[in-house]
Amino acid sequence: MNMKKLSFLLLAILTLRCLKPISSACHVDDEAGLLAFKSGITADPSNKLSSWKPGTDCCTWAGINCLNNRVTSLSLGGQPDQPNTFLSGKISPSLAKLKFLDGIYLQNLNFSGPFPDLLFGLPNLQYVYIEHNRLSGRIPDKIGNLTQLGALSFYYNQFTGPIPSSISKLTRLTQLNLGGNLLTGSIPYGIQNLKSLTLFNLEQNGLSGPIPDFFSSFSELRILRLSRNKFSGKIPASISALAPKLAYLELGHNALTGQIPDFLGNFKALDTLDLSYNGLSGIVPQRFVNLTKIFNLDLSHNYLTDPFPQLKVKGIESLDLSYNSFHLNQIPKWVTSSPIIYSLKLAKCGIKLKLEDWKPAETYFYDFIDLSENEITGSPIGLLNKTDFLVGFSASGNKLKFNLESLRIVKTLKQLDLSRNLVFGKVPSGVSGLDRLNVSHNHLCGPLPATKFAASAFLGNDCLCGAPLAPCK
Ligand SMILES: *[C@@H]1O[C@H](CO)[C@@H](O)[C@H](O)[C@H]1NC(C)=O
Ligand SMILES: *[C@@H]1O[C@H](CO)[C@@H](O)[C@H](O)[C@H]1NC(C)=O
Ligand SMILES: *[C@@H]1O[C@H](CO)[C@@H](O)[C@H](O)[C@H]1NC(C)=O
Ligand SMILES: *[C@@H]1O[C@H](CO)[C@@H](O)[C@H](O)[C@H]1NC(C)=O
Ligand SMILES: *[C@@H]1O[C@H](CO)[C@@H](O)[C@H](O)[C@H]1NC(C)=O
């Protein structure tokens, strides 16, 4: 760094230091509101709020942003897998003193209690992301008063009851995310008024009834997630209006019936399509050949039949066609040639193959491979030798014939299911690090290594012995 830059930097730092107390000392109401919020917190094991001290400038406190001495946003978050970074307690109604607040971001914490009514006292509030907490009870009808909101997310809380129809008044919303709650009832038809939505997520609730046929008004929608509910009926025709922009369409784990509509083949921007675990029947539309940019396709656990279209996709990342009525015979070429694939699930897809003859362009990134319930012969030794991150390999119910002792078990591997094949040799001690193992119904023999697995993982072999099976003679 040259001298000129350095002196400019010093000057800048000095100026900032002199100005800071004047320009951003926080307003007395904001300080009082935040201290009351802090006193509603019953546990802060990682000392997130240690900088929140009375008499110090609240604009310097962790998680606080100010503009012209007023607090404009509160953002606190824990680490998803580390409960010792969570805050516990209730969200204090005194937060409503922060009249200039425009965003509340409280993510991966442990706040409990009912819907935070304080939101109704904050006329400048535009963004609410209270995600992965434990708020409960009903979402009140008066939510329709929060007409200034641009984004509302209560993703993963424990709200119950119906979605109030008054939500249709929140016409400025670009994001509505009520996924991961315990909501019931049907989707209020009035949601069609929320024409600016780019994200609409109701996944993982107990919602039921048909998916409303109201999508023609959603010209901006990019993400539609309704998976893991109890929706029934057909995929509504008006979804075709989303063709230009929709990137994520997730309707899996519902009770949808009828056919996959042809128009889905026109979705130029589609990245992810999940229709798994429904009651869909008929063929996959030939027009799917035009889905050249799809990365994630899950049609598993339906009643779909042949022929499956030859997709022209350049690289698929994850594919699951398992448990339909397909007879693919081979692993499709567009799968074998994908340079970026990491998850391949083709269980019960009528594949007839000698595994050594399958020469995928890329194996390095694989984390899941499931080829169960096919007519696959040969050995997976070469394939598993070429993966470095594999987490799960399932090939139960095939005719694989190889010595289990020669199988490379990579460090990342957690699940191995080779049950009902023709595998021989001994069970190697390397399997003891797995979370799940099933080598039952093969031709294995010899003493078992010490593992935590139940007898059912080893039953039906030629001459395995030792715990959890009978002692060796
Ligand atoms: C969450 O808060 C409840 C009390 O409301 C407490 O019993 C529980 O231990 C907290 N969990 C974590 C992970 O902090
Ligand atoms: C919501 O708005 C209605 C009128 O639209 C009004 O009567 C009611 O008091 C408002 N509720 C809240 C909590 O602001
Ligand atoms: C794919 O799209 C092109 C034009 O976008 C169209 O002419 C063609 O018919 C489509 N293919 C199928 C199978 O629908
Ligand atoms: C496994 O890979 C190594 C190189 O990474 C190679 O030397 C070895 O022959 C391979 N073994 C099998 C059975 O393919
Ligand atoms: C192993 O597989 C067999 C047959 O596929 C099944 O019956 C058994 O329940 C499985 N056991 C375990 C522990 O997964």
The CATH number of whichever domain residue 372 belongs to comes to: 3.80.10.10
Name the H helices within 103-144: none
Contact in structure between 397 and 422 (CB atoms under 8 Å) = no
Task: Determine the Cα–Cα distance for residues 317 and 271; give it in Å rounded to an integer.
Answer: 10
Q: What's the confidence (pLDDT) of residue 18? A: 42
Task: Determine the Cα–Cα distance for residues 424 and 444; give it in Å rounded to an integer.
Answer: 4
Is 60 domain-assigned? no
- Secondary structure element (H or E) that encloses residue 389, with its range: none
Q: What's the confidence (pLDDT) of residue 38? A: 93
For atom 3 of ligand 1, the residue with the nearest CA is 88
Is 278 domain-assigned? no
Provide the residue range defining the domain that includes 404: 344-473
CA 301 to chain centre: 19
Ligand 5 neighbourhood includes 157 CB (under 6 angstroms): no
Q: Report CA(381)–ligand 4 centroid distance (Å).
A: 9
Report long-range pairs for 15-20 (Cβ below 8 Å, ≥24 apart): 20/57
Q: What's the confidence (pLDDT) of residue 85? A: 80
Q: Report CA(313)–ligand 2 centroid distance (Å).
A: 52
Is 446 domain-assigned? yes
Max Cα separation, the chain? 85
Query: Is the peptide bond prior to 307 cis by the omega test (within 30 degrees of 0)?
Result: yes
Is 397 domain-assigned? yes
Is 380 domain-assigned? yes
Contact in structure between 469 and 458 (CB atoms under 8 Å) = yes
Q: Report CA(85)–ligand 1 centroid distance (Å).
A: 11
pLDDT tens sequence across 460-472: 999 999 999 999 9
- For the residues of 304-362, what is the DSSP string, one character each? EESPPP----S--SEEE--SSB---BS--HHHHT-SS--EEE-TTS-BEEEGGG---S-
Q: Report CA(416)–ligand 4 centroid distance (Å).
A: 20
Give the number of other CB atoms < 10 A from CB of residue 175: 20
Pick from 58, 32, 62, 30: nearest CA to 46: 62
CA 98 to chain centre: 33
Q: What's the confidence (pLDDT) of residue 83? A: 79
Is 79 domain-assigned? no
For atom 6 of ligand 4, the residue with the nearest CA is 385
Instruction: Note the pTM of the prediction, 2 decimals.
Output: 0.90
Q: Report CA(385)–ligand 4 centroid distance (Å).
A: 6
Q: What's the confidence (pLDDT) of residue 16? A: 45
| DSSP-based three-state secondary structure for 144 | helix
Give the number of other CB atoms < 10 A from CB of residue 394: 22
Ligand 3 neighbourhood includes 286 CB (under 6 angstroms): yes
Pick from 128, 125, 129, 90: nearest CA to 108: 129
Is 382 domain-assigned? yes
- Best residue among 117, 125, 142 to mutate for probing ligand 2's pocket (most ligand atoms within 8 Å of CB) is 142
Ranges of the chain with pLDDT below 50: 1-23
Ligand with the closest atom to the CA of 120 = 2
For atom 4 of ligand 5, the residue with the nearest CA is 419
Task: Determine the Cα–Cα distance for residues 237 and 214; give it in Å rounded to an integer.
Answer: 9
Q: What is the C-alpha radius of gyration for the chain, rounded to an integer number of angstroms?
A: 28
Q: What's the confidence (pLDDT) of residue 4? A: 42
Structural domains counted in the chain: 1
Ligand with the closest atom to the CA of 405 = 4
Ligand with the closest atom to the CA of 407 = 4
Q: What's the confidence (pLDDT) of residue 13? A: 45
Task: Determine the Cα–Cα distance for residues 331 and 66; give it in Å rounded to an integer.
Answer: 57
Is 123 domain-assigned? no
Contact in structure between 349 and 322 (CB atoms under 8 Å) = yes
